[in-house]
Amino acid sequence: ETGVTQSPTHLIKTRGQQVTLRCSSQSGHNTVSWYQQALGQGPQFIFQYYREEENGRGNFPPRFSGLQFPNYSSELNVNALELDDSALYLCATRPGTEAREQYFGPGTRLTVT
Amino acid sequence: RKEVEQDPGPFNVPEGATVAFNCTYSNSASQSFFWYRQDCRKEPKLLMSVYSSGNEDGRFTAQLNRASQYISLLIRDSKLSDSATYLCVVNIKGKSTFGDGTTLTVKP
């Protein structure tokens, strides 16, 4: 096991609602990245946080936002949910932005109806 | 065109077969390269890094050709447990770009 945990494991929301997903970092890992993985596709980079600051963002709209806390745990918030937001959301942590290997959590499966 | 493209698959092979996966990337500034394995409904896990000199880990061999912007993964003597989706990953300045993966099914 990687030591990275995510909650909840599954979630069902209605279009237009807001959702918060959580990620607990592996000890000593100050960098966390969030990914969206739709069915049949690879993970798509949403954004990365390093020491509580966002330091990289993929092609996702502003309604996708995040936070990183002093203990390096992290949240992904999605506002105004759309049907296409249904996906597996993965967080991955590493001990620094230049570290080669990242460790994934088990993911949160979000269904938007 | 996607930044990272992989063979669409699926690959269905018998146990003991040798199978090769290919991946191309579009950004010549890419810095590091990886193969990840993802089992059904699970998170991706690092299989191996890929180096220009080529590297081997047991039955798995990875190759990188920077000039052609091409990455490969070779699996020898396939096992049933190798059945999974294999994801090609390219890093630039800490940002990881994943391919859509190639699904391998190894059959008895």
Instruction: Give the gap in angstroms from C-alpha A46 to the nearest C-alpha of chain B.
Output: 10
- In chain A, what percentage of residues exceed pLDDT 70? 98
Note every long-range contact of B3-8, with CB atoms under 8 Å and residues 24 or more positions apart, other chains counting. B3/B27, B3/B90, B3/B97, B4/A42, B4/B88, B4/B89, B4/B90, B4/B97, B4/B98, B4/B99, B5/B99, B6/B86, B6/B87, B6/B88, B6/B99, B6/B100, B6/B101, B6/B102, B7/B102, B8/B100, B8/B102
Q: What is the mean pLDDT of residues A45-57?
A: 93
In this structure, what token pair is assigned to residue B61? 């061999």
Residue A98 has pLDDT above 80, yes or no: no
Instruction: Give the gap in angstroms from C-alpha B76 to the nearest C-alpha of chain A.
Output: 24
Residue A1 has pLDDT above 70, yes or no: no
pLDDT recorded at residue B45:
94
Nearest CB to A97 within list B42, B94, B100: B94
